[in-house]
């Protein structure tokens, strides 16, 4: 399990403390930390928020574009870019001349007959996701020229805990439980979780849900409507990626985020496809296609979440492909 020190710091004040020393103390006192500790963002500098002011097609290339970029300087910067999603008015991550991305230092260089004075970057290139389909799109209202690290929590320390050493400690299956241990080690207060009263939802229509197998002791569900957001905030996507998960869409990311925070498995279904939730096992084996597109062999001992009699998820493990959240799910 990968753990973020930034995330842990949401729940316990670690200011002024040696975080590497704390991680080593945690390994000695609580659960085994794997050998390598990852210093995310330490090899990134000089990347700023920039706005694309003009886009022209390259005269001799169908893929390249000639851009003028406002990177917060007194003059616009000429850049050659091959990303398919470039457009006028778009804000993106821009590596200025002198910037460092890993072992690469950005310098002016001729590209297909034109000088490029910097690089518009994808999220993969700056190390915050696997998305390399185009340059990063920044929708937050941020002044041009602002250092990306001053906006988003790119700098972080990530450490990995051996899952086998946590098997008997379900209180440590999320960041909040780990933060409780760090609070004890540091002699500092554990901050309470932010919660809201669920009483305000008492009069909502009940979800049609029944537990039909004693193997399941409890199942809670809530129906949410009028969701218009599809893309998660950048910092949420960064934390998911640093902890080994891929950002998918806002609702799916939210369930994964809460799972990594609290250690509680969660799943979001599209209510157009799931109406009657039933939790049960089946008397005969069958195959079931999960979210990753893999056909799974389900035996008689596997607990399933169903839409009436149709399986839609393997309980506590992975949802099914046919009931997943999609772009137009509200």
- At residue 51, the pLDDT reads 97
**pLDDT, tens digit, for every residue of 9-54?**
999 999 999 999 999 999 999 999 988 899 999 999 999 999 999 9
**pLDDT, tens digit, for every residue of 76-122?**
999 999 999 999 999 999 999 999 999 999 999 998 889 999 999 99
For residues 5 and 19, is the Cβ–Cβ distance under 8 A? yes
Work out the mean pLDDT of the chain and round it to a whole number.
Answer: 94
For residues 160 and 242, is the Cβ–Cβ distance under 8 A? no
**pLDDT, tens digit, for every residue of 272-326?**
989 899 999 999 999 999 988 999 999 999 999 999 999 999 998 899 988 888 8
- Options 3.40.50.11540, 3.40.1350.10, 3.50.40.10, 3.40.1190.20; CATH of 198-323: 3.50.40.10
Residue 209 pLDDT class (50, 70, 90 cuts): very high
For residues 247 and 264, is the Cβ–Cβ distance under 8 A? no
Q: Which two tokens stand for residue 145?
A: 């020229």
Per-domain residue ranges of the chain: 46-122, 198-323
Q: Which two tokens stand for residue 174?
A: 């999320």
Q: Domain 46-122 - what CATH class? A: mainly beta
């Amino acid at each position: 399990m990968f753990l973020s020190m930034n995330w842990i710091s949401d729940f316990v004040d670690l200011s002024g403390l040696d975080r590497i020393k704390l991680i080593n103390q945690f390994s000695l006192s609580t659960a085994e930390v794997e050998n390598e500790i990852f210093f995310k963002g330490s090899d990134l500098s000089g990347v700023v928020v920039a706005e694309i002011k003009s886009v022209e097609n390259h005269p001799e290339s169908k893929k390249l574009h000639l851009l003028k970029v406002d990177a917060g300087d007194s003059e616009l910067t000429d850049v050659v870019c091959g990303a398919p999603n470039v457009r006028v008015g778009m804000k993106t991550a821009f590596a200025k001349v002198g910037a460092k991305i890993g072992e690469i230092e950005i310098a002016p260089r001729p590209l297909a007959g034109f000088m490029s004075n910097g690089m518009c970057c994808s999220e993969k290139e700056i190390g915050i996701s696997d998305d390399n389909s185009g340059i990063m799109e920044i929708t937050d209202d941020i002044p041009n020229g602002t250092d990306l690290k001053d906006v988003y929590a790119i700098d972080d320390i990530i450490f990995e805990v051996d899952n086998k050493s946590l098997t008997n400690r379900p209180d440590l299956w999320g960041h909040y439980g780990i933060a409780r241990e760090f609070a004890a080690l540091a002699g500092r207060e554990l901050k309470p979780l932010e919660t809201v009263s669920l009483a305000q939802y008492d009069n909502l229509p009940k979800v049609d849900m029944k537990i039909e197998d004693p193997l399941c002791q409890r199942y809670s569900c809530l129906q949410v409507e009028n969701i218009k957001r599809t893309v998660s905030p950048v910092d949420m996507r960064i934390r998911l990626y640093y902890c080994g998960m891929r950002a998918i869409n806002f609702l799916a990311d939210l369930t994964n985020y809460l799972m990594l925070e609290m250690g509680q498995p969660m799943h979001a279904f599209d209510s157009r496809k799931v109406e009657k939730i039933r939790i049960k096992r089946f008397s005969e084996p069958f195959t079931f296609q999960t979210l990753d597109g893999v056909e799974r062999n389900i035996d008689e001992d596997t607990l399933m979440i169903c839409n009436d009699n149709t399986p839609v998820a393997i309980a506590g493990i992975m949802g099914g492909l046919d009931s997943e959240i999609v772009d137009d799910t509200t």
